[in-house]
Structure 1
């Protein structure tokens, strides 16, 4: 079954925001990855190396996730469009079907493809200006 979680983008304040959310909701981070430790980010500005590439905090049956949008990497943040819906599918076929359907009239920013973290992942903004991420983690396949 597909699950859907929220993915937030911050202007360099992800760590502060997630420390706050952790104090509110409890729990532990299930992922915390910095840009300086991420393959493909070797050329990130030194001042941005310690910023958050990916962080996850389970809240109930959902996961709140986030990243820092780095201007040094050509990323821009616009409040109101700094939230994405992240779909995790049970199969590559389901990921392809959902991604292709959402792609109709959309702006595909990252095609669905194999990523360094062992998943197929893609990102798009649909024709209604909603940002979506579609992910299939091969390690969770049965």
Structure 2
């Protein structure tokens, strides 16, 4: 099933923000750095910054990342969020990506990523930023994005 969920961007304070949300909302929180994904070399300013964080409880999946130089525009309030669609339905999510990005700007084409899923991002013709993540099913049947 495809889920609609918030994705927040922070100027280097994702770990602090998500820890705060975790303390208030409960659940489980996890962090992955740019370095862990191999997206930034050791010693670079981005190496220890958060590429992806996720807070999951019974009713919510909240995701977030640090925006660092070279990985997107600087965070300003108004561009620090995106609507994120996540699920295993490849055909459905590919169609949604193509339809909603029509007339907009594709920042990242929908393609295989280092974490194993297919992912793409765009801003629609109304200025709303979207992210689409198609979870690749593992041998056990769990999504790689879980």
Provide the TM-score with structure 2 as the length reference: 0.86
Q: Could you tell which deviates more after superposition, 8-17 or 60-69?
A: 60-69
CA distance, structure 2, for counterparts of residue 135 and residue 3 of structure 1: 10
Pick the structure with more helix per residue.
1
Select 1:66's aligned residue among 64, 67, 78.
64
Q: Which deviations, in whole Å up to 9, do the C-alpha atoms of 1:21-67 show, x marking residues without a partner?
A: 011111221x3101221223227x63332211110001433210000
Q: Secondary structure at the match of 1:19?
A: helix
Select 1:136's aligned residue among 134, 137, 140.
134
Shift of 1:72: 5.0
Q: Secondary structure at the match of 2:97?
A: helix
Does residue 14 of structure 2 align to residue 14 of structure 1?
yes
* 1:26 match: 26
Q: Which deviations, in whole Å up to 9, do the C-alpha atoms of 1:79-123 show, x marking residues without a partner?
A: 111101110133211121000001111110000001111111100
User: RMSD over aligned Cα, in angstroms?
Assistant: 1.8
* 1:121 match: 119
CA distance, structure 2, for counterparts of residue 94 and residue 79 of structure 1: 31
Provide the TM-score with structure 1 as the length reference: 0.89
| Cα gap change, 1:76 to 1:92, in 2 (>3 Å) | same
Shift of 1:75: 3.4
CA distance, structure 1, for counterparts of residue 120 and residue 58 of structure 2: 25
- Structure 1: runs of 5 or more not aligned: none
Q: Secondary structure at the match of 2:93?
A: helix
